[in-house]
Amino acid sequence: MHLGEVCLLTRDVPRLAEFYRTLLGTEGSSTDEYWQAVVQGEPMLTVMHREDLPGDAPQRAVLAFTTEDMEAACAHVLRMGAAVVQPPMRQPWGTVNMILEDPDGNQVYLRQFAPAKEDRA
């Protein structure tokens, strides 16, 4: 078995899909208001409409995207105007994490793994 899809539930599919397309640099021309694919292939990232979500619903997913260049990723997020919850911060185990919020208030992690021990100076 393997991960096939991560689906985010929202009341506003076009808005959330566009946010993730901009964040990830993917393309898409769908105007479907009920379901859109942001990342094709497996694992897919999709957005699906759910009208019955309460406005104060808890976070519906946790996403972590790996980057090779946190500085560039951070600059991209700031240009997007996304809400930054935590700026890039090195963790005790060496990974650099940044936390932002998508338009629905879900926290999204960007991470850059520490280089392998033999690569560290």
Domain containing 107 equals 62-121
- C-alpha span between 76 and 55 (Å, rounded): 28
Q: What angle do CA 78, 104, 65 make, to 5 degrees?
A: 55
Please check whether residue 56 lies inside any domain of the structure: no
Decide if 48 contacts 10 (C-beta within 8 A): yes
Evaluate if residue 4 carries a pLDDT over 80: yes
Whether residues 47 and 69 share a domain: the answer is: no
Please check whether residue 66 lies inside any domain of the structure: yes
Residues 9-66: tens digit of each pLDDT: 888 999 999 999 999 999 988 999 999 999 998 899 999 888 777 767 666 677 889 9
Within a 10 A sphere around the Cβ of 90, how many other Cβ atoms? 12
Please check whether residue 6 lies inside any domain of the structure: yes
Between 120 and 4, residue with greater pLDDT: 4
Please check whether residue 57 lies inside any domain of the structure: no
Whether residues 21 and 75 share a domain: the answer is: no
Evaluate if residue 120 carries a pLDDT over 60: no
Whether residues 69 and 120 share a domain: the answer is: yes
Decide if 89 contacts 97 (C-beta within 8 A): yes
Decide if 3 contacts 43 (C-beta within 8 A): yes
Total domains in the fold of the chain? 2
Whether residues 46 and 93 share a domain: the answer is: no
Residues 76-112: tens digit of each pLDDT: 999 999 999 999 999 888 889 999 999 988 889 899 9
